[in-house]
Amino acid sequence: MPMIIDTIALDLEGTLISNAVSQFPRPGLYDFLEFCSASCRQVVLFTAVPEELARRILDLLVEEKAAPPWFRSVPYVEWDLHFKDLDNIPSADASRSLIVDDNPDYILPEQRSCWIPVEKYQSPYPDDDERLDRARRLIEAIISRQSPACDVPGDAPDECDRIQSR
């Protein structure tokens, strides 16, 4: 039986879009969001962007058809802006949750194996960026290995180390 992912927490800036100012959607965003939605019980937004601004960005992404309609009402996680602690997500089973984020500084050491790292989406914003597709493959590997996310580092450490060593 495949591993059931409870929650996928998504960062916004540098992960799904460029940043809160330019708001360029990352290539493959729509399909990645649909994949996440189909692969877990709930998708949440875990971002340092204040909720009001984040909601405006989500509305625009949906209007531009860069994101599916459900994404505009995705739950927004309140946090202290220090660590993105999966235990802070209301109703989430942290042991079966994943966080997709470009910034290692926000990841709790004890939750590193729940981290799906993606390289920051930044200038010149290449059209052939495939990082969301790579994140999808990591999540698929975790699901197919049939064990709790936190026991399955998968390919993530290489990517983590590479990002950390920059």
- Residues that bind Mg ion in the complex, under the rule CB under 5 A: 11, 13-15, 102-103
Burial 120-135 (b: 16+ CB within 10 A, else e): bbeeeeeeebebbebb
| Shortest distance, position 139 Cβ to Mg ion, whole Å | 18
User: What is the number of the residue whose Cβ is closest to Mg ion?
Assistant: 14
Alpha helices by DSSP H, listed for 15-125, are 29-39, 51-63
What 121-127 contacts at long range (C-beta under 8 Å, 24+ apart), as own/partner pairs, is 121/14, 121/15, 121/16, 121/17, 121/18, 121/24, 121/26, 122/14, 122/18, 123/18, 125/18, 125/24, 126/27, 127/27
| Shortest distance, position 16 Cβ to Mg ion, whole Å | 9
Closer CB to Mg ion, residue 14 or residue 28? 14
Closer CB to Mg ion, residue 15 or residue 111? 15
Closer CB to Mg ion, residue 99 or residue 143? 99
> Quick one: which H or E segment has residue 116?
strand 115-117
| Shortest distance, position 49 Cβ to Mg ion, whole Å | 9
Closer CB to Mg ion, residue 29 or residue 143? 29
| Shortest distance, position 121 Cβ to Mg ion, whole Å | 9
Triad 26, 49, 45: Cα angle to 5°: 65
> Quick one: which H or E segment has residue 135?
helix 131-144
| Shortest distance, position 54 Cβ to Mg ion, whole Å | 12
Closer CB to Mg ion, residue 71 or residue 152? 71
